[in-house]
């Protein structure tokens, strides 16, 4: 095959036939993980235990490195919902929005959380600030007298200038059980327990 033709074949996007609801529903577990492709980076991973997990593969905007984000489990997240979430991510990628990129010493943009909230179906019901408020209330009621650690969990700056100048602790070890408790609480809310 001529080199130029080979090069063109390598840069052309793979044309993928979109999945149907029936294909997703009928996908059976095998002895090893396998994926079904919907196109545009959306795949569903079928696990040997029968779990069906939506995934979105993309290239990070600034580094162009390949990355993968989980979008939820079928049937809790339907094919239509997974496509909608994928489309929102594609829109963010077109704007060079660095979701999922770890950028040390740079706070996360509040719109990252707001976009995630919208993609989960809570647009108009909840915003990032409201979520932080819920977290702060829960943590302060649950972990009395651990104010500094809770503030570190919420990434709040120390308001007292003297304390800010001298206290360089990140409370990493103390934050772990608090954040685990918050994660457990959120999970229990999502399951209605």
Write the pLDDT tens digit of every residue in 78-117: 999 999 989 888 888 887 766 654 444 555 666 777 877 8
Inter-axis angle of helices 110-117 and 128-142, nearest 10? 90
pLDDT, one tens digit per residue, over 142-177 is: 998 888 899 888 888 777 888 878 888 888 899 999
Q: Count the domains in the chain.
A: 2
- pLDDT recorded at residue 55: 94
Of 115, 143, 165, the one marking the end of a domain is 115
Owning domain of residue 93: 17-115
Residue 122 resides in a domain: no
Residue 11 resides in a domain: no
- pLDDT recorded at residue 5: 43
Residue 6 resides in a domain: no
CB 83 within 8 A of CB 99: no
Of 83, 115, 147, the one marking the end of a domain is 115
Of 87, 115, 143, the one marking the end of a domain is 115
Residue 8 resides in a domain: no
Average pLDDT over residues 45-50: 95
- pLDDT recorded at residue 10: 46
Distance CA 68, CA 155 (A): 26
φ/ψ bin of 108: left (φ > 0), alpha (ψ from -120 to 50), beta (otherwise):
beta
């Amino acid at each position: 095959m001529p080199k130029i033709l080979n090069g063109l074949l390598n840069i052309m996007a793979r044309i993928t036939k979109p999945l149907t609801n029936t294909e997703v529903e009928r996908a059976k577990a095998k002895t090893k993980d396998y994926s079904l492709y919907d196109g545009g980076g959306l795949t569903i991973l079928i696990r040997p235990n029968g779990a069906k997990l939506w995934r979105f593969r993309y290239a990070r905007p600034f580094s162009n490195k390949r990355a993968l984000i989980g979008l939820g489990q079928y049937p809790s997240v339907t094919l239509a919902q997974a496509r909608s979430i994928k489309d929102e991510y594609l829109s963010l990628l077109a704007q060079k929005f660095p979701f999922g990129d770890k950028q040390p010493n740079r706070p996360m943009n509040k719109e990252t959380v707001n976009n995630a909230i919208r993609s989960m179906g809570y647009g108009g019901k909840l915003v990032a600030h409201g979520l932080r408020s819920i977290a702060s209330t829960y943590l302060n009621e649950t972990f009395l007298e651990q104010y500094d650690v809770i503030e570190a969990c919420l990434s709040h700056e120390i308001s007292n200038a003297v304390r800010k100048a001298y206290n360089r602790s990140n409370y990493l070890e103390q934050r772990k059980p608090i954040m685990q408790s918050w994660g457990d609480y959120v999970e229990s809310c999502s399951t209605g327990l």
